[in-house]
Amino acid sequence: MNPWMLFTCVLLYFAVLFAVAWRTSKGADNQSFFVGNRNSAWPLVAFGMIGTSLSGVTFISVPGAVGASGFNYWQIMMGHLLGYAVVAWVLLPLYYRLGLVSIYGWIEGRLGTSALRMAAGFFILSRTLGATARLYLVVRILQDVVLERLGVSFGATATVMVLMILLYTWRGGVKTIVWTDTLQTAGMLFGLGACIVFILQALDISGWQALMQMQEQGLSRVWGTEPAAKEYWLKQLLAGAAIAIAMTGMDQEMMQKNISVRTLRGSQLNMLCMALAMSVVVLAFLFLGGLLMLFAQQAGMTERGDRLFPAVVMGHLPAIVQLIFILALISALFPSADGALTALTSSTCNDLLAFGKRHDWSAAEQESIRKRVHLAYAAVFLLLVMGFRWLDDPSMIGLILKVASYTYGPLLGLFAFGWWTTRRVSDPWVPLVTVLAPVACGVLDALQPMVFETWRIGLELLLLNGAVVFAGLWLISRPTPPAPAPQAP
């Protein structure tokens, strides 16, 4: 397809986003930015969160990984369903009962100010790295298939993308992205369905015939049966549950949308509907990955991993499919990037700068500071995207899940300790425990071949990380003193 035509369609897509942002950000204030004035409709939030949870990495990397690991990712998705149930029935009631703007406010009340800052710090680190890795993947593909042919540099492409996200989240924050994410999730799912239909037509087979061919070639295998391997089903199931609990229930980006829903029941319905819909969507992405492998074999293509899907669409399918693919890819990108930028600003303002306690700052001063923080994170996003350009990992989803094992593990340990025990921690020691735990897990991960003969630790490293934090907090804590007996009148 003509690159100028693609470029024009992308600009029109951005125009629609800005129109939605302009309409929804009217009269917005800090409460609109942080929690959408707690007035979001749960069906909109649930649908939009599908796009936030999946992102451009899922759109590209999950289908691309089928050639190497089959439908193995489905094991993790089954674990996610267990984790989402815990979020809906354990964590959400807690957040609503306390009326939190930042979910890490509960950590402060339970474990102290140092624990709050470490929880917010690990969230900021993880979300910044994860969001920029996702952003890089999509920017790279847009650069390769469209903008390179127009003579636009990668740096210019990345700058414009970050600027677009900054501008349409500038005023409305959560109030705006609840609506824009809904629009973008619809675009992503339409693109997914269209690509499946067109590739089936190109292969001239039915969906059932395609699945049978995948099964014959081992592309549709789901369950890992070797206990020592990273892909063993129980490891993946537990890791999937832990990832969902930590990366959704203990993640300010995901939860700020949930707690913007009017009622707890609506928020729980949002979480459960989103979980069920996501399981179906992920299965469709895996099926698409199998189709891409069948097509690549038939066409004699050598591309694999993250480069397979773009290569099939842009090199072998009609122009209309190329347009749908580009728009769907952008739709997959923005729900994770805009939500991350908003959540990072929210966590910094509420957890680190303590907006709720700063009575010496007027509302206007707080809004001005919030905008400066928002702008600073946009600049960090751009710098990290350029860093990922230098790294250029062949499968970004593996990299993102690995980073999450180290950065969300301390969050899992902090929440678990606060929830399951009544012990009080020694506040100054919390940073040491939460930093040393991922360092120790990183050393163990690096030394696996020397420590274990056949056993390999995979994504369950997140659970191990959380357990080490839990144990460390136990060592620096003491029992809660009993309440004093009532005095006799």
Of the candidates 343, 311, 272, which has an alpha carbon nearest to the alpha carbon of residue 124?
Answer: 343
* pLDDT for the residue numbered 290: 92
Domains of the chain, with CATH numbers? 3-402 (1.20.1730.10)
Q: Summarize pLDDT for 135-162 with one digit per residue, the tens.
A: 887 788 778 777 777 788 888 888 988 8
456: helix, strand or coil: coil
Q: Summarize pLDDT for 380-424 with one digit per residue, the tens.
A: 999 988 888 877 655 555 666 677 778 888 988 998 998 888 898
* pLDDT for the residue numbered 8: 79
Average pLDDT over residues 310-327: 85
Please give the Cα distance from 235 to 224 (Å, whole number).
9
Average pLDDT over residues 98-113: 83
Average pLDDT over residues 214-235: 82
**Residue 254 CB contacts under 8 Å (≥ 6 apart), including other chains:** 49, 52, 53, 247, 248, 339
pLDDT band for 291, please (50, 70, 90 cuts). Answer: very high
Taking the mean position of all CA atoms in its chain, how far away is CA 448? 28
Please give the Cα distance from 61 to 396 (Å, whole number).
7
* pLDDT for the residue numbered 379: 92
pLDDT band for 197, please (50, 70, 90 cuts). Answer: very high
Of the candidates 87, 48, 101, which has an alpha carbon nearest to the alpha carbon of residue 348?
Answer: 101
DSSP characters for 277-305? HHHHHHHHHHHHHHHHHHHHHHHT----G
| Buried-state track 155-165, b at ≥16 Cβ within 10 A, e below 16 | eebbbebbebb
- Comparing 96-105, 108-117, 179-188, which segment has the lowest mean pLDDT? 179-188
pLDDT at 483 over 60: no
Is 389 buried (19+), middle (13-18) or exposed (0-12) by CB count in 10 A? middle
For 11, other C-beta atoms within 10 Å of its C-beta total 9
* pLDDT for the residue numbered 150: 78
pTM of the complete model: 0.74
* pLDDT for the residue numbered 474: 93
pLDDT at 106 over 80: yes
Helices (H), 348-451: 363-391, 396-407, 409-420, 430-446, 448-451
Q: Summarize pLDDT for 419-450 with one digit per residue, the tens.
A: 888 898 887 889 999 999 989 888 887 887 77
Q: Decide which of 104 and 456 is more confident.
A: 104
Average pLDDT over residues 256-273: 83
Of the candidates 248, 305, 241, which has an alpha carbon nearest to the alpha carbon of residue 463?
Answer: 241
Mean pLDDT of the chain: 81
Please give the Cα distance from 483 to 178 (Å, whole number).
45
Q: Summarize pLDDT for 26-73 with one digit per residue, the tens.
A: 666 666 566 555 666 666 666 666 766 666 567 777 888 888 888 888
pLDDT band for 292, please (50, 70, 90 cuts). Answer: very high
pLDDT at 189 over 60: yes
Is the CB of residue 361 less than 8 Å from the CB of residue 369? yes
Is the CB of residue 24 less than 8 Å from the CB of residue 167? no
Please give the Cα distance from 31 to 172 (Å, whole number).
9
pLDDT at 485 over 70: no
373: helix, strand or coil: helix
User: By percentage, how much of the chain surpasses pLDDT 90?
Assistant: 11
Sequence letter at residue 115? A
